[in-house]
């Protein structure tokens, strides 16, 4: 067991809040933190009462990527492919495949894998003072955690290449202007606003929201024809949900719906 909880977990109003908790290292990933974060997302996947996730960091940083002290080539050449396969790729797959919304509150600098994990979440808010750095180029590495996939899709090849090749920090404002994240929030308001959003999503029609997330992600590789077929199938599935019945009944009865997430 680690000496400290490297990820703090808290459940409230259907939201599982996961707080990266190695503030002295700007929440850089060691193996304990990887395993704890993965366990958190698996919990979100497995527990029906959890209907949204909020990911954030403690202290002044969000996440500085891999803890470089743990992958120090001076102690023998590490197999970074193994690190990616064992830790980062399973995490990215969990976030993207989770059929519940994942809100990310970037509370400070997000560097390397830390930036790309923030971009993999469904709705990412960032504190005005935060910044995003594709730090890989500074240490001879390649963007990971889906960065080479998400960056060109979100902002186009020209901006993706410039960010990745120069490792120039990108302000939160510019990240929002470019469409890398949803929005910028004043530092003091970040956690409140992200929590409100996550709670709103957690009280929503979880089945429909999960299918919506899957459909939008599937569009990255589908043709229009494939996507139209997928919309037909997902709409059929959503139409059988209790939340659809509740949503339409509430609309017709002029009342607020009470979604159960089923």
Report in angstroms how near the CB of residue 222 gets to ligand LHQ at its nearest: 29
Query: Does residue 83 belong to the site contacting ligand LHQ (CB under 6 A)?
Result: yes
Query: Does residue 243 belong to the site contacting ligand LHQ (CB under 6 A)?
Result: no
What 8-state DSSP symbol labels residue 70? G
**187 vs 231, beta carbon nearer ligand LHQ:** 187
Report in angstroms how near the CB of residue 100 gets to ligand LHQ at its nearest: 26
Helix (H, G, I), strand (E, B) or coil at 150: helix
Residue 207 · residue 245 · CB < 8 Å? no
β strands within the chain, DSSP E: 7-12, 15-20, 52-57, 61-63, 102-106, 109-111, 123-127, 131-133, 170-171, 183-185
**82 vs 254, beta carbon nearer ligand LHQ:** 82
Residues between 131 and 170 that touch ligand LHQ (CB under 6 A): 133, 135-136, 139, 141, 144
Residue 165 · residue 138 · CB < 8 Å? no
Report in angstroms how near the CB of residue 116 gets to ligand LHQ at its nearest: 8
Size of the site for ligand LHQ (CB under 6 A): 24
Rounded to the nearest 10°, the torsion over CA 194, 195, 200, 203 is 140
Residue 108 · residue 59 · CB < 8 Å? yes
The structure tokens listed for 94 are: 């969990």
**144 vs 243, beta carbon nearer ligand LHQ:** 144
User: What distance in Å separates the CA atoms of residue 161 and residue 246, rounded to the nearest whole number?
Assistant: 47
The structure tokens listed for 182 are: 């949803």
User: What distance in Å separates the CA atoms of residue 147 and residue 168, rounded to the nearest whole number?
Assistant: 15
Report in angstroms how near the CB of residue 62 gets to ligand LHQ at its nearest: 9
Among 63, 69, 54, CA closest to 20: 63
Report in angstroms how near the CB of residue 94 gets to ligand LHQ at its nearest: 17
Residues between 4 and 43 that touch ligand LHQ (CB under 6 A): 25-26, 28
Q: State the Cα angle at 6 between 98 and 197, rounded to 5°.
A: 45
Query: Does residue 68 belong to the site contacting ligand LHQ (CB under 6 A)?
Result: yes
Query: Does residue 62 belong to the site contacting ligand LHQ (CB under 6 A)?
Result: no
Residues between 171 and 190 that touch ligand LHQ (CB under 6 A): none
User: What distance in Å separates the CA atoms of residue 125 and residue 141, rounded to the nearest whole number?
Assistant: 27
Question: Which of 54, 67, 175, 234: binder of ligand LHQ (CB under 6 A)?
Answer: 67
Residues between 115 and 134 that touch ligand LHQ (CB under 6 A): 133
Binding region for ligand LHQ (CB under 6 A): 25-26, 28, 64-69, 71, 80, 83-84, 88, 109, 111-113, 133, 135-136, 139, 141, 144
């Amino acid at each position: 067991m680690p000496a400290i909880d490297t990820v703090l977990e808290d459940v409230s109003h259907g939201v599982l809040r996961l707080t990266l908790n190695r503030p002295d290292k700007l929440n850089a990933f060691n193996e304990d933190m990887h395993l704890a974060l993965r366990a958190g997302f698996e919990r979100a996947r497995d527990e029906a009462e959890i209907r949204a996730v909020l990911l954030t960091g403690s202290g002044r940083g969000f996440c500085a990527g891999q803890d470089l002290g743990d992958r120090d080539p001076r102690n023998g050449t590490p197999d970074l492919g193994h690190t990616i396969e064992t830790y980062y790729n399973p995490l990215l797959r969990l976030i993207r495949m989770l059929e519940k919304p994942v809100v990310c509150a970037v509370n400070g600098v997000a560097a390397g894998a830390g930036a790309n994990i923030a971009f993999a979440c469904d709705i990412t808010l960032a504190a005005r003072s935060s910044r995003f750095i594709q730090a890989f180029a500074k240490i001879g590495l390649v963007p990971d955690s889906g960065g080479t996939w998400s960056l060109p899709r979100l902002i186009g090849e020209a901006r993706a290449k410039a960010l990745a090749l120069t490792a120039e920090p990108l302000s939160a404002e510019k990240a929002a202007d470019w469409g890398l994240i949803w929005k910028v929030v004043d530092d003091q308001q970040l956690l409140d606003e992200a929590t409100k959003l996550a709670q709103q999503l957690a009280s929503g029609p979880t089945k429909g929201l999960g299918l919506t997330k899957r459909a939008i992600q599937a569009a990255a590789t589908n043709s229009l024809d494939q996507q139209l077929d997928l919309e037909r199938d997902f709409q059929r599935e959503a139409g059988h949900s209790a939340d659809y019945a509740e949503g339409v009944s509430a609309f017709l009865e002029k009342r607020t719906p009470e979604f159960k997430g089923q």
